[in-house]
Amino acid sequence: MADKPASLQDLFLNALRRSKTPVTMFLVKGVKLQGIVTWFDNFSVLLRRDGQSQLIYKHAISTIMPSSAVDIAAIVNAVGEAQRKQPLLQEIFLNAVRKSNDNVTMFLVNGVMLQGHIAAFDLFCMLLQRDGMSQLVYKHAVSTIQPAHPLNLADEQAETDED
């Protein structure tokens, strides 16, 4: 049996942990936390700053943004493209947006607006890029996503029907 592919958040958080890159983490309620990711699991992230550690539950996180550029090419390649027999609407839409290379405007549930290109996504997260910087956006914190240009979802659906 094939190994389960690593999730986008696991790949991203592991890259940050290994490189000890300082991050800014925004919580759904708007709180800004900063520090270095030292550990994470399926439900939480351990963030260290000034010798103190704090546990942050993932359900409370909206975005994680490294303080400097991170090479995400390996992460994007490892995540690949969502392939299901019956893809979810969000997978059809996000694949079309990603392939179009168009920027999107994304609103979070707290009203914050984000803009950039969706480089990768999985069931729980999206990797948003803008001006050489990237940030991990948790889908539970997103309310709307609007591409800069109209999409033809019929083409995307036809590709999945052919498989």
* Tens-place pLDDT, residues 110-145: 999 999 999 999 999 999 999 999 999 999 999 999
pLDDT of the residue at 79: 84
Bigger pLDDT: 100 vs 159: 100
* Residue 116 within a domain: yes
* Residue 80 within a domain: yes
pLDDT of the residue at 1: 40
pLDDT of the residue at 162: 60
> Domain total for the chain?
1
Q: How many helices (H) and strands (E) does the chain have?
A: 4, 10
* Residue 3 within a domain: no
Alpha helices in the chain (DSSP H): 8-19, 73-79, 89-100, 153-162
Residue-number span of the structural domain to which 95 is assigned: 8-162
Helix (H, G, I), strand (E, B), or coil: what is residue 116? strand
pLDDT of the residue at 80: 73
CB atoms within 10 A of CB 70: 20
Residues 43-70: pLDDT tens digits? 999 999 999 999 999 999 999 999 998 8
* Residue 93 within a domain: yes
* Residue 60 within a domain: yes
> How many CA atoms, within 13 angstroms, populate the side-chain half-sphere of residue 131?
4
* Residue 1 within a domain: no
Q: What is the rounded distance in angstroms from the CA atom of residue 129 to the CA atom of residue 122? A: 15
pTM score, two decimals? 0.89
Kindly report the CATH number assigned to the domain that includes residue 153.
2.30.30.100
